[in-house]
Amino acid sequence: MKIKKHGEKYFEKKQKCKLGLLICTLSLFLIVVSSLQGFHTLITEKPEWERVYERYYVDVPTQLIETPDGGYMLIGSQISGGTTQLPWILKVDSDGYEEWNQSYLPPNKAHGHLRSIVASPDGDYVLAGLIRDIDYFTWDLWILKIDSNGVEVWNRSFNGIENGPDYGAQIQCTSDNGFLISGATQSEYALHTQDWNTDYWLIKTDADGIVEWNKTYHRLGSDQGSALISLNDGNYLLSGLSKQSADLNSAFSIWVIKVNENGTIIWDKHFEQGTAWYGAWERNIIATTDGGFLLACYPFGETFNIGKDYWILKCNSEGTIQWQTSFGGAFFDTPTACLQSPTGDYYIGGSYNSTNGSFEKGDMCIVRLNSSGDIQGYITYGKKQEGERIVDMILTEGSDSSEAIISLASVENGGLGENYLDFWLGKFDKVDEIITPIISDTTTTTTPETMSSAATSSSYASIFLLLWAICGISIIRRKKKDH
């Protein structure tokens, strides 16, 4: 039997003490990292493919629609050096490669912008937006019909005798093959035109774009209609912004009106929280499979350009809130588009974590929620927060029987350089597998939250590492006692 000398025993104790200290330090470090991963994980997802389309100084995308050949049409406008704004349409194939593009500007018109597109029953397309005369600075509501090759069939503009702004926002087909167009007006059609206030405006046309009737809707102050969706019961929802009082300095809230096919109000609801100002985009509302609707809006940030957080509400067919969820990062976040999956999940697209409170400087973002409003996860994509925002989305089939999203976005530095805005189109695959643990103080919902498997595993790992750290501390204390 070999007898260890005193020096060897001391050296062995010292080494074990160092080992215990190393175990303790490493374990505590891993606990911190594990905790951060469990609650702050942000998945940055690269799309399966992406394309950038650019023409002039600023290209502004607004909507995306799938075509019968599996491709897509992208609409918006292009601004050449700030002098002329041209309505712009691009046709691309199923992989986003451009097939043709066309700009439109009727005679004696200086500027135009397309905001919505719908496929007509005859195989053509009808678009809605706004257009401006050369000699006047006010806008008119404008609709345009094109065939599948982008050739103009006809165009119509609508305005009042007074020179107040009239603009179109969204367009839907009606059961009689006509069209319904939402927007806002400040001309003599409005119920309340003083103090530069506008009213919601709804126009019904026949199949040739000839007006059959128009109606306006007014609440308290200025009302700016934007979103328009059709419902399974044959009625429509009109949504936008509405002043909370007649005071010009009062805040905007979200105003939703349900109307029948003749524009008669069935009910109306407004949504707000306290005195905060709220904003919303054209595609902020969708009909849900249960007969209700989902609404995504945002309280304003430091200025009126971007939002502070996503505010997502699920309502029943009568407009009563069933659940509501908030989502946001450390900075500024703006939701702009919504989808519902056949599985019942919801996808909300927009921008995330803009570090600038005045202008959008965040990344594009897709948030996934289950049917109860629990946030399952989110992905972001961008070029170091230089200004990317999803404006529209289409759900399509992904690889391995998964779900994928075709996203249309506005991007800065897409091609020509700094401060240039471009159209961006990309495909995010397997979006139904998005699972990201969410930080608890930025996500609240009226329904009980369910911790994801990743967060649960992280908790178990933290417990194990904590016990391992205690073991290391015990080794240190025992060796010190022996010494």
pLDDT in tens, 91-131: 999 999 999 999 998 877 778 999 999 999 999 999 999 88
- Higher pLDDT: 120 or 245? It is 120
User: Is it true that domain 43-456 has CATH number 2.130.10.10?
Assistant: yes
Question: What's the pLDDT band for 333 if we cut at 50, 70, 90?
Answer: confident
Which residues have CB under 8 Å from 175's CB, separation 6+?
234, 261
366 Cβ partners below 8 Å, 6+ apart?
347, 348, 349, 378, 379, 390, 393, 405, 407, 428, 431, 434
Mean pLDDT in residue range 245-271: 85
The reported pTM is 0.79
- In the prediction, which pLDDT does 18 show? 55
Asked whether 211 and 192 are in contact (CB, 8 A), the reply is: no
Per-residue model confidence (pLDDT) at position 447: 32
Q: What pLDDT does residue 275 have? A: 60
User: Stretch 365-391: mean pLDDT, rounded?
Assistant: 88
Question: Phi/psi of residue 301, each to 5°?
Answer: -85, -145
Mean pLDDT of 196-202: 79
Delimit the domains of the chain by residue range. 43-456
What is the structure's pLDDT at 332?
A: 80
Please report the pLDDT score of residue 230 as a whole number: 95
At 421 the pLDDT is 83
pLDDT for 470 equals 54
Stronger pLDDT, 364 or 159, i.e. the higher one: 364
At 138, which amino acid appears? Answer: T
Q: What is the pLDDT of residue 66?
A: 97
* Per-residue pLDDT tens digits for 3-38: 444 455 544 555 555 555 555 455 444 444 443 333
Residue 161's pLDDT is 56
pLDDT beyond 80 at 466: no
The identity of residue 404, as a single letter, is: A
